[in-house]
Amino acid sequence: MALHDILFGPFPLTLGILSISLYWVLWYLRRGKQAQAQTQTVTDGPPFYPFDPAALDRKEPYFTQSETPILTFGNSMILPNRYAHEIRNNDHLSFRDGLEKDFLTTVPGLEALFTGTFHNDIVWDTASAFSRQISALIEPLSTETGIFLQENWGDDAEWHSIPLNDSMHLLIAQLTARIFIGEELCRDRAWIQLDISYTAHRTAAIKELPQYGRLIPIVHWFLPSCRALRACVRAARPFVERVLEARREQAQGQGKKQRESIDALSWIDGVAGRTKYDPTLTQLRLAYAAVHTTSDMMAKVVAAICEHDELIQPLREEIVAVVKEHGWSEAALAKMVLLDSVLKETQRLEPLASFTLSRIAREAVVLSDGTRIPKGTQVRLTTDNMWNSSVYPDAAKFDGYRFVRLRDQDTATGTATATGTPSGGLSFVSVSANHMGFGYGKHACPGRFFAGAETKIALCHVLLKYDVELVDGGLAGAQTDGMMIWRDKRAMLRVRRRSGEIEV
């Protein structure tokens, strides 16, 4: 064979292509191992900045034509808050298509969110069903919070340090697991870690995949985050199957209907009946919707309370008075209006993200002012009314009593008095165009009632049982990547056990 043939003939060329491909495959596999070893922190990604609501205060009149621009990038539009009423329930703007685009729900490997599947669709029904039985959730959520705090924050009456975000993440993962999968696994560290890692790897995959465009169907097989995600699902299966098998046997033995149980695992199994479905994906899908969202809320509200420690005593007094009168009940949670206001004010200033209502136009849509949304365009809405001083006076300032006062005014006058604010929408779980922390319209978060009860119960325990303060306020500020908003991951809490006024 001539040298030319050896170097340039089809055989060496094929070999060359193969070895280059093999090199990249091995490189991905090696990185995949590293990613699997990681648990939950994914530090790569776009840069982030301190989040400053004062810089976003546009002070515009509510619902009028204004200067706030509509931003258009390719086939994506960012609409200002004033369009909320027109976007929220427009049937040509698809919530499901928005979800598919944002969460890549059609990519193999990300099956948990595949649309049209039982394990995906049941999540909405589960969140709604459990939101309707809050009173049955109070005792297990309260007991579980007590167990978590005892094990993780302890009885030490001397100050000791706790990582804010991680501790809230573990607490909410345990509480949520108590309701979604039950007592067998909610305190199992391995299960909790899988629950948390699944969301972290999925988030990383969703960030990384879009850059590969049409190659996504191939690349996802090698991308470390996708491989780690699949590894999580594989590891989770034996946990879920073991518990579900035992439940089914127990239910048969007792001749009971499984849907009487309080946990979502059994409830969903009862709803599924003879439908074949994947219980592991259902559990991971539920955790994906519920855990990081609520733990982010908890970290923000605990930090806000520490930053405004004049609220601690009135909050304690409210909790004690209400629980003494109503016991641990749904009515008691509803009566904690200051706690509710503090949660809502925290979410007003630091929502999960500065955009919401991600939708895709299935048909061209013309808005009332003539703005045209072409077919196929992805629209998102900014939540800028939450930081607008003409809607919320002195908007950049945290005011724990803001929603207590607005409620009082609402009761006294029949209408809320924040400029143009429609009546209602003043409790933590209610949604309005001026406060879209849980979205707005018919697709607003169905799990918000669950999240409201869970955060209130957890805060009651924290406030009555512990003195809390931030170790270094400078390391606990809000940050953003332009879209998501979170508390600095370095934030540390100092806590010490106190003797509570009442037993919780």
Beta strand 160-163 pairing with 93-94: unpaired
Smallest separation (angstroms) from ligand HEM to the CB of 317: 25
Nearest-CB residue to ligand HEM?
447
* For ligand HEM, the closer CB: 117 or 293: 293
- Least Å distance, CB 96 to ligand HEM, is 9
Q: Which two tokens stand for residue 13?
A: 């060329």
Q: List the helix and strand counts (H, then E) for the chain.
A: 18, 13
> Residues 496, 309, 431, CA angle at the centre, nearest 5°?
110
Identity of the residue, 162 or 289, whose beta carbon is nearer to ligand HEM in the bound complex: 289
The residue ranges that bind ligand HEM (CB under 6 A) are 123-124, 127, 289-290, 293-294, 297, 352, 356-357, 437-439, 443-448, 450-451
Nearer CB in complex with ligand HEM: 251/352: 352
Query: At closest approach, how far in Å is the CB of 478 from ligand HEM?
Result: 15
Structure tokens, 18: 């193969």
Q: For residues 192 and 290, which CB has a smaller minimum distance to ligand HEM in the complex?
A: 290
Minimum CB separation from ligand HEM for residue 452, in Å? 8
Beta carbon of residue 431, minimum distance to ligand HEM (angstroms, whole number)? 8
3-class SS at 361?
strand
Question: Residue 97: in which H helix or E strand, if any?
Answer: helix 95-103
CB of 336 vs ligand HEM, minimal distance in Å: 16
Report residue 127 as tokens.
């969140």
Secondary structure letter of residue 387 according to DSSP: G
| Closest to 217 in 3D by CA, of 114, 110, 118 | 110
Cβ distance to ligand HEM smaller for residue 298 or 471: 298
Which residue's structure tokens are 């990185």? 31
CB nearer ligand HEM, residue 281 or residue 444: 444
Q: What separation in angstroms does the CA of 219 have from each of 25, 214, 216, 233, 461?
A: 10, 9, 5, 19, 46
SS3 187: coil
Residue in this structure with the two tokens 């990383």, named with its chain if needed: 204
| Class of residue 215 by CB neighbours under 10 A (exposed 0-12, middle 13-18, buried 19+) | exposed
Token pair 């993962």 is at which residue?
Answer: 173
What tokens appear for 175 in the block?
A: 């509480």
CB of 73 to ligand HEM, least distance (A): 20
Of 203 and 356, nearer to ligand HEM (C-beta) is 356
Indicate the residue among 123 and 251 with the shorter CB distance to ligand HEM: 123
Report the nearest approach of ligand HEM to the CB of residue 357 (Å): 5
* Residue in 262, 195, 303 with CA at minimum distance from that of residue 450: 262
